[in-house]
Amino acid sequence: MAETLLALHGLRKSFGGLLVTDDVTLDVRQGEIHALIGPNGAGKTTLIHQVSGTLAPDAGRIRFLGEDITTLSMPARARRGLARSFQITSVVPSFSALENAALAVQARRGSSLRFFRAASREAALNAEAMDALAEVGLDARAATPAAALSHGERRQLEIAIALAMQPRALLLDEPLAGTGPEEAERLIRLLSGLRARYAVLLVEHDMQAVFALADRISVLAQGRVIATGTPDQIRADAAVREAYLGEDEAA
Amino acid sequence: MRNPRLWLPLLVFVALAAAPFLGLGQGHSLTLLARGMIFGLAAVSLMLLVGGAGLVSLGHAAMMGMGAYAVVVLDHAGLTEAWMVFPAGILAAALFALLTGAIAIRTSGVHFIMITLAFGQMAFFTTSSLAVYGGDDGYTLFSRTEVFGARWLENRLVFHFVCLGALVACWALVQTLLESRFGRVLRASRENETRARALGFNPTPYRLLAYVIAGAMGGLAGVLLANATEFVAPAYLAWQRSGDLLFMVILGGLAGPHGALVGALAFVLVEEWLSHAMEHWRLVFGPLLILCVFFLRGGIVGLLRRG
Amino acid sequence: MNTTLLLVQALNGLQFGVLLFLVAAGLTLVFGVMDFINLAHGVQYMVGAYLGATLTALTGSFWLGLLLALPAALVFGLVLEFLVFRHLYDRDHLSQVLATFGVILFLNEGVKVVFGAAPMQMPVPELLSGGVPLMDGLLYPTYRLAILAAGLATAALLWFLVERTRAGMLVRAGATNAPMVAALGVDIRRLFMLVFGFGAMLAGFAGVMAAPILSVEPGMGDNLLILAFVVIVIGGIGSVRGAFIAALLVGLVETIGRGLMPDLMRLFMDASSARQTGAALASMLVYIVMAAILAFRPAGLFPARA
């Protein structure tokens, strides 16, 4: 069985009186896409925030590559190889697509306490950045400022940046959000190809994408994991169907 | 930020170098130009903070003040050698920046603005209460800084080119820093701090370093200012002076450090002209400032580029 | 430093703190609800003082002057809001700082043009002149006690308004999360005008009260403004309760510090050095306290925002 890279044990998080994450335990293995689904308000994004380091859990532990990272800051987790993409695109608007990716490369290659050379002319950084852009199909738009990219292109850039970090695990928060059918298909093909190199925790609402991509699915409802299994197992699970009763399953 | 954008700053430097020989060689004009260049230096350093790191410091005058008062302290002790005075001024300001920055940088947004204002005020009151250095009335230097005993800096022309040299060096430094890896992290953190952190960057040490570097350059400007006026007073650290510096930065536009330089020169010239034209010139200056904020987005440099 | 002197200093400190609170309260709410950094709040205080002094001289009565000065200060504040401030709400902080800085330059000079640069005098009202015997040999000025009382009463009123009325609840909600309140259908602009107007009146009120004991001169609001900023930073932005506690703290530290420091220094050095070092240290004291508090609580003591 493949190595477990990311493991969550008994995570718990409350906001005031509201329990948003309730004893969540799941793991993500090397080479798998583990999808996290659930009705609106289930607490998926809050969970991703806790894994990436934006929010601190009230209880529970997170292990990554064998190390307990529960108390580490977001930058520290990123440096250890845990990359995250955001549900609402988060890029540096005035930087070009290339420079956005180059910044990600710079984060892991050597020191950023370099003061005299122009970073934009560092061939090594640019080459790796270009590779990441090419992988998502954005290399033709490398010189375009991120603010001028279309929404779908920015979603692609979001993934390119995560790839440029050369992480061990990817946390993808609704990468298909707001994309049209053509762009979605392109992204699905791209994500499918990522499987081999990383461990991927994928939060998505698009059920077609989830069932096409996922090796395993965990279903989150009211902060708890109510089922974990292969897509077929999840499809057949009564509790899952009950949780989604009344919810519109995306066609 | 490469070649095409360098014509404006180079033009300005050439103009400043040629100015004494083009009819602006009298004492009064040279003094005015020196003032413009000194504040230009300070404004350029502030631009590193504001335009680069996104840190709006309302206490930068205190950095200049640290440099100026370092000159005073050494002058009082009879020490006027350049190799002592310049480093002392720069280090004093850098140290002040490090100590206050360590607290201030942990905050952001309006907190940061208010805290830098407060620390600047602290420096102002402290210098006001030091009667041995003149207190509120200020301190007249016994002499300008000497270079191995030679009073070169008292020659207005020499001083002009010393200021110009310092200005060009600092402008080049800020320009280089902004384009470096270090500057890239600063700029990314300014525009999207979440993204920078998600990549593995902790902005705080970079910002603190920028704050100290800017402070050190402010200190250099302060040393030059003390020499220019041969007089130093707590008023140099007044928060209104910090406000003036911010205005210079925004007046020029944030496209590059040369904007701050252009803004400073424009500010000094307008202030000089207005204050001679009318007694209550601030009645005009205040609304002028407001109108600039309302309508002159992108600053003078932005206007030139569009025009 | 004997007990009598200490008591006087403490009372002076509280009285100063109460004045600071009146200025800071408006500032913190304006910043909390509208994310608007208003450097010109200090001139509001100055204008209040000038209005109070002028109207008192015109009417011959302190009370009439006070009564007329308050609405006048309110109107003045609303005019400023209309002409300058409302164009800045959507702008970045740097623009707000610079534009309000321009307002300060203009008004400080304007007051000089209209009233002259020399300080204006405003007499303490007949009713409140004289002193109150607090202790053996201690006659404390009645007027200062009145300021303390008026300030505390206003603080109580403010507490009541903010904590117990519907408008106050909206203000508190706005200070915590303004976009949310707007999204809930509340007219956030009108709410803000209410907050702003009230804050302007408070600052003006503080100015009128302070006028008889401080000198009414151009720029009198500037230093107070900066201390008000320190108060807000310590107290937590958007929090009236924080502003109250921080204001009293700052008032006491400032006043007692200035009194105590030179004496403290005399334990270690001779009289003249002690006076100088003491004065220098006293100047730094408030800021050192601020830095110490921020080191542990970067968002202040009672931040309104999460």
Straight-line distance from the first to the last Cα atom of chain C, in angstroms, rounded to the nearest whole number:
43
CA angle C168, C97, B107 (to 5 degrees): 75
A96 touches chain B (CB under 8 A): no
pLDDT at residue B135, as a whole number? 87
Across the interface, do C112 and B286 touch by the CB < 8 Å criterion?
Answer: no
Helices B181-191 and B156-179, packing angle to 10 deg: 70
A93 to chain B: which residues are within 8 Å by CB? 191-192
Residue B307 — pLDDT band, cuts 50, 70, 90? very low
Residues of chain A contacting B206 with CB distance shorter than 8 Å: 112
Question: A22 or A16: which carries more pLDDT confidence?
Answer: A22
* A123 lies within 8 A of chain B by CB: no
Q: Please, what sign has the CA dihedral across residues B79, B85, B91, B94? A: positive
Res. B1: pLDDT tops 50: no
Least confident of A60-69, B27-36, C294-303: C294-303
Residues for chain B: how many in total?
307
| A170 strand-pairing partners | A83, A200
Partners of residue B217 in chain A, C-beta under 8 Å: none
* Chain segment B193-218, per-residue pLDDT in tens: 999 999 999 999 999 999 999 999 99
Q: Are C265 and C277 in contact (CB under 8 A)?
A: yes
The pLDDT score that the predictor gives to residue C187 is 79
pLDDT given at position A250: 46
- What secondary structure does DSSP assign to C160-179, as a single string? HHHHHSHHHHHHHHHHHHHH
Q: What is the pLDDT of residues B122-181, one digit of tens each?
A: 999 899 988 889 888 999 998 888 888 888 888 888 999 999 999 999 999 999 999 999
Residue range B70-94: average pLDDT? 94
pLDDT of amino acid C5: 82
Option in C31, C84, C279 nearest B290 (CB): C84
Q: Is the CB of residue B204 less than 8 Å away from at least one CB of chain A?
A: no
Q: Which of A44-48, B101-105, C40-44, C163-167 has the lowest mean pLDDT?
A: C163-167
Residue C150 clears pLDDT 80, i.e. is over it: yes
Q: Which 156-175 residues of chain B touch chain C by CB within 8 A?
A: none
pLDDT at C35: 83
pLDDT at residue B3, as a whole number: 61
pLDDT tens track for C48-107? 999 999 999 898 888 888 999 999 999 999 999 889 998 888 888 888 999 999 999 999
**Phi and psi for A86 in degrees, rounded to 5?**
-105, 150
Place A251 in a pLDDT band, splitting at 50, 70 and 90. very low
pLDDT reported for residue A79: 94
CB contact under 8 A, B179 and A52: no
Percent of chain A at pLDDT > 90 equals 65
A16 or B261: which carries more pLDDT confidence? B261
Indicate if the pLDDT at residue C298 is higher than 90. no
Distance CA B294, CA B289 (A): 9
- C132 φ, ψ (degrees, to nearest 5): -115, 125
Average pLDDT of chain A is: 90
Q: Which residues contact B144 (CB under 8 A, 6 or more apart)?
A: B80, B151, B153, B154, B159, B227, B230
Give pLDDT, residue A206. Answer: 86
Question: Can you tell me the mean pLDDT for C4-10?
Answer: 86
Under a CB-based contact definition with an 8 Å cutoff, are residues B94 and B222 in contact?
A: no
pTM over 0.80: yes
What are the φ and ψ backbone dihedral angles of C122, each rounded to 5 degrees? -135, 120
Q: How far is CA C212 from CA C50, C76, C126, C271, in A?
A: 11, 21, 12, 33
What confidence tier does B306 reach under pLDDT thresholds 50, 70, 90? low
Residue, of C44 and B306, whose pLDDT is higher: C44
| pLDDT value at residue C166 | 83
Report the mean per-residue pLDDT for chain C: 87
Please write the tens of the pLDDT for every residue from C119-146: 888 888 888 888 888 777 778 888 999 9
CB atoms within 10 A of CB B11: 11
H helices of B230-256, in order, are 239-252
C: neighbours with 3+ CB pairs under 8 Å? B
Confidence check: pLDDT of A193 > 50: yes
| pLDDT score for A30 | 92
Tokens 């384009």 map to which residue? B179
**Residue numbers in B near C87 (CB within 8 A):** 294
